[in-house]
Amino acid sequence: QKTVLKAADVHPLGYPTVEAVVQMGKKLEQATNGRLSIQMYPSMQLGGEKEMIEQAQVGALQFARVSVGPVGAVVDNLNVFNLPFVFRNTAHMRAVIDGPIGDRLLKEITDNPKSGLIGLAWMDSGARSFYNKTRDIKSVEDLKGLKFRMMGNPIFVDTANALGANGVAMGMDQVMNALQTGVVDGAENNPPSYDSFGHVPVAKHYSLTEHLIIPEILVFSRKSFDAMSKEDQALIMKFGKETQLEQRKLWDERTKMAMDKIKAAGVNVITIADKKPFQDAVKPVWDKYGAKYADLVKQIQETK
Amino acid sequence: MEILILIGGFTVVCLLGMPVAYALGIASIAAALYTDIPLEAVMLKVAGGMSGFSLLAIPFFILAGAIMALGGMATRLVNLAKVFVGAIRGGLALVNIVASTMFGCLSGSSVADTAAVGSVMIPQMIKAGYPRLFAVNVTISGSLQPLLVPPSHNMVIYSIAAGGTVSIGAMFMAGIIPTLLLGASLVILVLYVAKRDNFPKGEAIPLRQAFKIAVDAIWGLTTVAIILGGITSGVFTPTESGAIACVWAFFVTMFVYKDITWAELPMLLGRVTRTVGMVMIMIGFSISFGYMMAILRIPAIATEFFVNISHNKYMFLLYINILLLALGTFMDLAPMLLICTPIFLPILPAFGIDPVHFGIIMILNLGIGLLTPPVGPTMVVGCAIGRVSMEAVAKSILIFYIPMIIVLMLVTYIPELSLWLPRTLMN
Amino acid sequence: MGEGMVSQYSRLMDIVHRGCLIVAGGCLLIITLIIPYGVFTRYVLNSAASWPEPLATLLMIVMSFISAVVCYREYLHIGVGVLPAFLNEPYKTALGWLLEALMLLTNLFMLWWGLKLVATTYNQIIPEFPVLSVGISYLPVPLGGGLTILFIIERMMKGQFFQEADAETVSTLTTE
Ligand code: NA
Ligand code: NA
């Protein structure tokens, strides 16, 4: 009896998160002599993240690679990652998700009866930084008065505002047009997305503020999981955990490639030596959204 | 086998006479049952498929068109068209076409255009001595134009069917030159027939009166400006433009033209919800159908098939055009867009075809299908208004297909006709 | 089945029909007002309200399913409909029964699996619109299915299968 497990992602084939799950499928196939395999449906073929989660909940699909946002609606602690500058840098974020805090949060997804999901692994989606078409951002003052497209969650818009800029929430599909018509002066994203959305020629000032470092999650359908044998369950959990480090390698390669391309396109990439003024500026956002995660934040900050 | 259940099942129940929406539904359900996909996922897609924000543009565009049609917008535009082309031989026929070009910018619907322009123009043409069949044919042929300009909700449907990867604004821009080409080609045909059959000439309108007519029509044209201007400047999303156009059109019709009364409002809402119900339930089920197609990897299989049979872009486009024309005789525009777009779209990159260009080809091609028997809603409405039989129209309309096919070929093989405007204006 | 019972049921269905129209029309009116209000808050009040968009989307789904029910009763749904024209009695009536049976089946699936979907996603919250759960947003599916079943039963009772839609209604509808 052969079982084909379905996996979905909003990104296209070849994207690090997609590639990692495809490779995991090959390992699974090898380990079970072809009894278990993964069919990947990339590029939103089965719908957006919200629908992917619901399909996993009803058991129509098994693996879903999703952002913190839609799962955070059920498991609130995940939202701690949405706080600006919650991690010192990418290495800090990796230490946290590889350690007990990462495991605990995945377990919270698994144990929450409302989620209908099993938390398998964390996936890297880099650090988001500001880019704009007007000027180099070297200090907080440089952000003043610029309009930036932010993701829909109010916390992100507030972050931009706290930094002295104006945050404008809009869908990703509208950003290009908004940049061209001047509805926004810039946006923020990780290097691969900045490059692949074609914003590089329009907005040529990129400053590595790394204000948001939000890892993504690979989840598995609880309904499908419960229907599997103990051995298969263990296999899924094991390979799931392994994919966390494998995806990271793919992500680093991708980021390096994008960064080379961005620099070749004549973008002045600015490294921020001292992020302290930025971190201080977002204090109001922490006061407003961070209080209930105080314990968790303390543990994160103590992680070396 | 699963593919046969899905596609074959749909085709069979559809031909038996089941409504297209529910035929899509039961085929998806059957395929899901066969492949062990939980049926909740199918239901999830039916409702989830309707929940994109840009889909909201559909009721708004339909409502805006309905307000325009119910109020005296069509009559005013006919009057404006008379100012421009009324005095030429075959003038009233030209007025009919030009009125559709202008009214198209308000209704976005071929059927609404036929109903609105036809009910004003067909009686006038007959009275002036034009053959009844000719009047009907001109009316329905001219009604192809609204499909390609804002606020055509068919373009929204295409954009939805393309998974939101195609910008509605770009589609609106892309349709403008093909629409003008379509209008011009029909004008040439009418001028030729008018000369050949010695049709009557109209009267020239004095300048002072012409000015008054133009001012009167301007209020309506501002609605188009809201929609187009709002979208291209990025001030409004297409959906917001649609909603604001509704409020604006209602304001103008109610308080400036004073064409509708409060008492007519429930009737207007009733009409529009029915139309929206028909369209949206079809969209919902077609999304679940598309979901099952994606699960069964039909787009990938179709891609392989088409890449194998056609070795270049030109042959591929020709095959697609022939296929769509054939299917379009039996099927209406909206369901065809919903069913075919997800199949063809993934193939386009292999041939280097722009999805915006392809959308214009599909809508124009399938629009021609609205004017063919056995299933052709625009033709049916035209026949009803002109009180002629479908058979008579089917025979006499043949000559009108010539300019349409020529424009279709031009649009197919000269991508710049579609792409130049969006590229220039939006970049 | 008694003649009186059929007409009594039919009268009841008239009321349901009217109710559906009122609900659907009301939804349309509300969404046409709240989207411009959203624009107003963004440009005039300078703080974009986040609720008009998800609420309008939800109301549109309600409107769509409810008015699809109306369209069924009024024979408005788009179909190919070539075959019935070529058939004579009793084949035509047999086809009518077959098609209504298929409709009944489809709508029963919508009712039953729609309810199961509502139950499964009932605990999931819509992030932009926290007062509602995802499950509620799927309620129109079983609702539309259930109401259509009522009208299918009516049509089966009366045996009126291939009626033409009211010509006046059709000429004012603008699908294409
Ligand atoms: Na016309
Ligand atoms: Na046709």
pLDDT digits (tens, 9 = 90+) for B212-226: 888 888 887 777 777
Q: Assign B205 a pLDDT band (cuts: 50, 70, 90).
A: confident
On whether the CB atoms of residues A217 and A108 are closer than 8 A, the answer is no
Q: Quick one: which of B168, B278, B243, B137 has its CA closest to A171?
A: B168
Q: Is the pLDDT of residue C39 over 90?
A: no
Q: Tell how far the Cα of B144 is from the centroid of ligand 1, in angstroms.
A: 7
Does residue B276 sit at the C interface (CB-CB below 8 Å)? yes
Mean pLDDT for B126-141 is: 91
Tens-digit pLDDT profile for residues B291-333: 898 888 887 787 778 778 877 889 889 988 998 888 888 777 8
For residues A89 and B58, give the distance between their C-alpha atoms in angstroms, rounded to a whole number. 45
Instruction: Name which of B36, B44, B51, B235 to mutate to probe chain A: the one with the most chain A Cβ atoms within 10 A of its Cβ.
Output: B44
- The ligand whose atoms approach the alpha carbon of B137 most closely is 1
Number of structural domains chain B divides into: 1
Q: What is the pLDDT of residue B90?
A: 86
C51, part of any domain: yes
Mean pLDDT for B390-400 is: 88
CA distances from B240 to A88, A225, B52 (A): 41, 43, 13
Q: What is the pLDDT of residue A160?
A: 94
Q: Tell how far the Cα of B114 is from the centroid of ligand 1, in angstroms.
A: 5
Q: What is the pLDDT of residue C90?
A: 86
Mean pLDDT for B261-278 is: 88
Q: What is the pLDDT of residue B164?
A: 65
| Higher pLDDT, residue A69 or A8 | A8
Q: Is the pLDDT of residue B104 over 90?
A: no
Q: Tell how far the Cα of C88 is from the centroid of ligand 2, in angstroms.
A: 24
Q: What is the pLDDT of residue C171?
A: 58
C99, part of any domain: yes
Q: What is the pLDDT of residue A245?
A: 94
To the nearest whole Å, the CA of C93 is away from the closest chain A CA by 39
Q: Is the pLDDT of residue A207 over 80?
A: yes
Q: What is the pLDDT of residue A277?
A: 95
A-C contacts at Cβ under 8 angstroms: 29
To the nearest whole Å, the CA of B25 is away from the closest chain A CA by 17
Tens-digit pLDDT profile for residues B26-49: 999 999 999 999 999 999 999 987
Percent of chain A with pLDDT strictly greater than 70? 99
Q: What is the pLDDT of residue A141?
A: 94
Point out the residue among B22, B236, B282 whose CB comes nearest to the CB of C106: B22
SS (H, E, C) chain A: CCEEEEEECCCCCCCHHHHHHHHHHHHHHHHCCCCEEEEEECCCCCCCHHHHHHHHHHCCCCEEEECHHHHHCCCHHHHHHHCCCCCCCHHHHHHHHHCHHHHHHHHHHHHCCCCCEEEEEEECCCCEEEEECCCCCCCHHHHCCCEEEECCCHHHHHHHHHCCCEEEECCHHHHHHHHHHCCCCEEEECHHHHHHCCCCCCCCEEEEEEEECCCEEEEEEHHHHHCCCHHHHHHHHHHHHHHHHHHHHHHHHHHHHHHHHHHHCCCEEEECCCCHHHHHHCHHHHHHHCHHHHHHHHHHHHCC
Mean pLDDT for A156-160 is: 92
| Higher pLDDT, residue A74 or B73 | A74
Point out the residue among C50, C121, C128 whose CB comes nearest to the CB of A54: C121
Q: Give the amino acid at B25.
A: G
User: What is this structure's pTM?
Assistant: 0.84
Q: Is the pLDDT of residue C4 over 80?
A: yes
Q: Is the dihedral of CA A40, A43, A44, A45 positive or negative?
A: negative
Q: What is the pLDDT of residue B32?
A: 96
Residues of B in contact with C25 (CB under 8 A): 266, 269-270, 273
Q: Is the pLDDT of residue A165 over 90?
A: yes
Tokens of A190: 């990780």
Q: Is the pLDDT of residue C175 over 60?
A: no
Number of structural domains chain C divides into: 1
To the nearest whole Å, the CA of C60 is away from the closest chain A CA by 18
Tens-digit pLDDT profile for residues B283-297: 788 888 888 988 888
Residues of A in contact with C134 (CB under 8 A): 50, 54
Q: Is the pLDDT of residue C137 over 60?
A: yes
Residue A181 to residue B295, Cβ atoms within 8 A: no
| Higher pLDDT, residue A183 or B289 | B289
Torsion-angle region of B358 (φ positive above 0: left; ψ -120 to 50: alpha; else: beta):
alpha
ipTM of the complex: 0.87
C176, part of any domain: no
Place of tokens 């001030």: B235
Percent of chain C with pLDDT strictly greater than 90? 54
Look at chain C and count its residues. Answer: 176
Q: Is the pLDDT of residue C174 over 70?
A: no
Q: What is the pLDDT of residue C168?
A: 59
- The ligand whose atoms approach the alpha carbon of B111 most closely is 1
C92, part of any domain: yes
Does residue A73 sit at the C interface (CB-CB below 8 Å)? yes
To the nearest whole Å, the CA of C139 is away from the closest chain A CA by 15
Q: Is the pLDDT of residue C124 over 80?
A: no
Q: Assign B230 a pLDDT band (cuts: 50, 70, 90).
A: confident
Mean pLDDT for B403-420 is: 95
Point out the residue among B40, B163, B295 whose CB comes nearest to the CB of A44: B163
Q: Is the pLDDT of residue B340 over 60?
A: yes
CA distances from A110 to A60, B374, C51 (A): 18, 56, 30
- The ligand whose atoms approach the alpha carbon of B94 most closely is 1
Residues of A in contact with B294 (CB under 8 A): 41, 45-46
Domain interval for residue B171: 1-426
Backbone angles phi, psi at A201, to 5 degrees: -65, -25
Q: What is the pLDDT of residue B229?
A: 75
Percent of chain B with pLDDT strictly greater than 70? 96
C77, part of any domain: yes
Residues of A in contact with C121 (CB under 8 A): 54, 57
Worst-scoring range by mean pLDDT, A25-34, B351-360, B371-380? Answer: B371-380
C118, part of any domain: yes
Q: Tell how far the Cα of B369 is from the centroid of ligand 2, in angstroms.
A: 4
Does residue C126 sit at the A interface (CB-CB below 8 Å)? yes
Cβ count near A57 (within 10 Å): 28
| Higher pLDDT, residue B283 or B94 | B94
Tens-digit pLDDT profile for residues C12-23: 999 999 999 999
Neighbours of chain B (3+ CB pairs under 8 A): A, C
Mean pLDDT for C41-63 is: 84
Average predicted confidence (pLDDT) for chain B:
85
User: With b meaning 16 or more CB within 10 Å and e meaning fewer, what string describes C35-62?
Assistant: bbebbebbeeeeebebebbbbbbbbbbb
Domain interval for residue C19: 3-168
Mean pLDDT for C123-132 is: 71
| Higher pLDDT, residue B83 or C124 | B83
- Find all residues with CB under 8 Å of A223, minimum gap 6, and list them: A57, A58, A59, A116, B38
- The ligand whose atoms approach the alpha carbon of B120 most closely is 1
Tens-digit pLDDT profile for residues B414-424: 999 999 998 88
C71, part of any domain: yes
On whether the CB atoms of residues B343 and B327 are closer than 8 A, the answer is no
